[in-house]
Chain A
């Protein structure tokens, strides 16, 4: 069973230790790849490790948890906080936070949330596997054109802007429909969710560059719109089943 990675950011050593030692990470198919005790350190660790899950407090020295999350490429995050504030919760949801757990944290709730995220991650992996070509030119097969004007607009936007940093809301604005509607419409029409499509497109582009140039990983990450090289590596591995370097090596050895 595949293992997913997680990073914990928590400024209180006892709580951090408790999380590390008492949550059955291995049983949940998770591995803690990094911890941090303040917001700045946390940002560095997340960028470096590109974990699948971030578990963080809000009140942190340096910068608060939400600010930290907003600066990093985040797939899933869980907030653990003594504060219950509607404004915090609203901001957190926009940053891809799956659950907002109040301190004192009920371990059962935390474990349930982690299980939910792991199952989602598995689902994603399997959907990537389905769309994988048998060693063709592209790593992921993506529909080029669909039967819907708005989604075609979205696809053309992705093709044009993949080098830049943008999100669902930018495309929603461009196509003039709501974010929620675009999200579900994209999944229905293209058979793949928006984020997968964007990541897949970037990965395809990066694979092309890996094959045809000798540019290093950081340069390729930047060219393809990935915020950090480690995040690029992580996503690449997720989609291609190997690291970019391994992929390049395999291509060269074939030739």
Chain B
């Protein structure tokens, strides 16, 4: 499966962008989730503040005018006038003074009316409104008041917001305070009424911008009037604002059945929020583009170094050594990397120099070898020709030497197989001895004794012949007398005993026993080679004994385990 690889450039770029977009996204989400509810909360709290304020003010207004109407209704002289049901110049003066005093001198925010139970006496600070004329609206009006007065009319004045009318001076009546006036017997003698102008409300009501509408509600009659737009009034059912953007809060006026209800509209803020959102999005987009550009620049600046490095690496790969990298980029890691790379290149250069030298040496050696090499086939064919000539001319010794020499040469050239049978080893040794015998005639004699049963056992090649060669060259050749080499191979059931014995000059073994490695020195290399190869193969199972003394000859005994080697099965 091929793994998808991406360049460091795109990886870095993607990661930079991810890092940069996280705060932007968080900001966006926060803005979207919290701004709206936050605006709503602000509006609500503003509305609540102004509601509290307004409730307090209306409450104070109510208290004030209740007090005023009570002072009229409890005025003994007024009661007297109404009880008598007639008025003269003196009493009327008193009554008017009292009435005007209660509605505030000079500030005409209200009208005050007084009417006797019969309706005969009608006094007003302004024009007595026909609506209050008991003679015309007797039943209706009384029942109206009675209707209002369901919880002890006598104690506290009735506050009504239903008496909407416009006065002759163009003022709008918004709230009316009505009080029955009773004599000491408890008989109703008349009514006192204070009508408040809408102006007084408009004066102190908060006109906070968030307020869409503010209603004064009379829950005893389910009637409401707008405090912001006093001309609007009517049954509560008619006031129905269905807008999800409206924040509606309501608060009772203490000890009354009145309440103020506020409608605050958040939609303009939301609209402005939406437009600012657009701006915000634009900012985010511009920010993102900026982020991309900055990321690109950053990434480019980082990857350029990598590119330079990889280019150099590639040129190493393709075999040409690049020039050194700049190791002064100002970034610690890059400098380290460039430095290491440069070191590597330097070492590579040195190595290549060395290799070139070695190659040159090798080529030279090979050339020399080729020049000096004699084709072995040529050698063998020539030996065969010599042998043929010897045969044709009846030269038996030449024939024998050429045959045996051919075999010896083959044995030393054939290095592919590490083992051969003892028979082959023995034949080789015998071939060698035959040649030496022809050369030195009677000076060299040999005996071979071998147990036939073990001749097909495989042993390492060239173990007997080198030892025999050693015996002849170092043992017999220096002698003036004829010498004898004995080869014996014995079957010891589990082991094979090979011994090569000569009666030559011998040598001092004291040094060898101290340090077997001194085998290596001088004339004993052949011996050491055999010992070493056997040791490598048989390690602890090898028994190798060397006995020698001056002028007494040398004897080498080798004991090898039989089972360690595979049996060689001949075909015939």
Contact = CB atoms under 8 A, between A and B. Distances in A.
Interface in B375-417: 376-378, 380-381, 383-389, 391-392, 399, 402-403, 405-407, 410, 414
A103 B378 CA distance: 10
A102 interface: yes
A20 to B, nearest CB: 10
Contacts of B376: 82
Contacts of A104: 380, 383-384, 386-387, 402-403, 405-406
A18 B391 contact: yes
Interface residues of A, number: 18
Interface stretch (A9-17, A176-184, A189-197): A9-17
B377 A14 contact: no
Nearest to A57: B381
B192 to A, nearest CB: 137
A133 interface: no
B443 to A, nearest CB: 26
B9 to A, nearest CB: 57
A30 to B, nearest CB: 18
A84 B388 contact: no
Contacts of A188: none
A79 to B, nearest CB: 13
Chain B, interface residues (CB within 8 Å), range: 20 to 34
A82 B377 CA distance: 5
B572 to A, nearest CB: 8
A17 B388 contact: yes
Given A21-B392, A102-B380, A84 B414 contact: yes
A14 B380 contact: no
A164 interface: no
Interface in A45-97: 59, 82-84
Contacts of A84: 410, 414
A106 B406 CA distance: 10
A83 B375 CA distance: 11
Contacts of A82: 376-378, 380-381, 384
Contact of B406 (A19, A22, A59, A103): A103
A219 interface: no
B385 A15 contact: yes
A105 interface: yes
B570 to A, nearest CB: 14
Contacts of A18: 387-389, 391-392
A107 interface: yes
B410 A12 contact: no
Interface string A194-223: 000000000000000000000000000000
A103 B387 CA distance: 9
A84 B380 CA distance: 10
A14 B389 CA distance: 7
B111 to A, nearest CB: 134
A105 B387 contact: yes
B384 A105 contact: yes
B418 to A, nearest CB: 15
Contact of B392 (A17, A103, A105, A107): A17
B266 to A, nearest CB: 96
A103 B383 contact: yes
Taking each of B388, B391, B399, which has the highest tally of chain A beta carbons within 10 Å of its own beta carbon? B388
Nearest to B392: A18
Given A103-B383, A104-B387, A14 B406 contact: no
20 contacts: A12-B388, A14-B389, A15-B388, A18-B387, A18-B392, A19-B388, A22-B391, A82-B376, A82-B377, A82-B378, A82-B380, A82-B384, A83-B377, A104-B380, A104-B383, A104-B386, A104-B387, A104-B406, A106-B403, A106-B407
**Which 8 A/B pairs are nearest by Cβ-Cβ distance?**
A18-B388, A103-B384, A82-B380, A104-B406, A104-B384, A82-B381, A104-B383, A104-B387
Given A104-B386, A106-B403, 14 more contacts: A12-B381, A12-B384, A12-B388, A18-B391, A19-B388, A82-B378, A82-B380, A82-B384, A83-B377, A84-B410, A103-B384, A104-B380, A104-B406, A107-B391
